């Protein structure tokens, strides 16, 4: 699995969130900060949301994918259950979060 699938999962997560009233449509992701993006792989690898690096370099390719801020955030919430993303749900299914975790453990291949 490559980056295109990761992007698809995250884009679909936003699309599902936006189509669930009363959520914003379009979602306003600007509050996360200026480098919050997964348009291309380098964007995602550099992305920061509210001060937290989404994928810390030290968790890539060494079995620590479950410790990536992105994975914790999507699975349970980085700052407690109320902070699980996308904010308030609907959330990304566990099977898809696991796909992203596996991709990080595989070294974030293209
Ligand atoms: C380190 C990772 C992240 C942190 C710390 C974080 C934090 C936050 C916080 C504090 C808010 C509420 C304040 C605001 O609107 O800015 C928020 C909103 C939101 N976040 Fe995140 N977030 C993270 C990653 C993500 C990811 C990966 C997604 C999507 C898959 C996401 C989707 C959203 C959405 C849809 C909203 C609501 C936007 C709106 O109100 O229009 N966030 N996030």
SS3 23: coil
Distance 87 CA to ligand 1 centre (A): 6
Q: Is the CB of 14 under 6 A from ligand 1?
A: yes
C-alpha angle 101-106-107 in degrees, rounded to nearest 5 = 100
Q: Is residue 26 part of a domain?
A: yes
Question: What pTM did the predictor assign?
Answer: 0.96
Q: Measured between alpha carbons, how far is 23 from 19 in angstroms, rounded to an integer?
A: 7
Distance 32 CA to ligand 1 centre (A): 6
Q: What's the pLDDT at 81?
A: 83
pLDDT in tens, 50-108: 999 999 999 999 999 999 999 999 999 999 889 999 999 999 999 999 999 999 999 99
Instruction: Dig out the tokens for 100 from the structure.
Output: 């992203």
Q: Is residue 110 part of a domain?
A: no
Q: Is the CB of 45 under 6 A from ligand 1?
A: no
Q: Is residue 14 part of a domain?
A: yes
Give the nearest ligand 1 atom to 26 CA: 41
For the chain, strand residue ranges (E) read 48-49, 52-53
Domain that holds residue 51: 3-105
Residues 6+ positions from 25 with CB-CB distance below 8 Å: 18, 19
Per the structure, the count of domains in the chain is 1
Q: What count of other Cβ atoms lies within 10 Å of the Cβ of residue 13?
A: 21
What are phi and psi for residue 26, nearest 5 degrees?
A: -80, 155
SS3 26: coil
């Amino acid at each position: 699995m490559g980056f295109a699938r990761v992007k698809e999962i995250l884009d679909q997560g936003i699309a599902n969130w936006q189509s669930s009233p009363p959520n914003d449509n379009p979602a306003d992701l600007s509050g996360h900060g200026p480098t919050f993006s997964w348009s291309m792989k380098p964007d995602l690898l550099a992305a920061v949301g509210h001060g937290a690096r989404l994928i810390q370099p030290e968790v890539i390719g060494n079995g620590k994918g479950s410790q990536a801020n992105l994975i914790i955030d999507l699975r349970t919430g980085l700052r407690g259950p109320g902070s699980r993303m996308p904010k308030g749900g609907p959330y990304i299914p566990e099977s898809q979060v696991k796909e992203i975790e596996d991709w990080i453990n595989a070294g974030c291949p293209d």
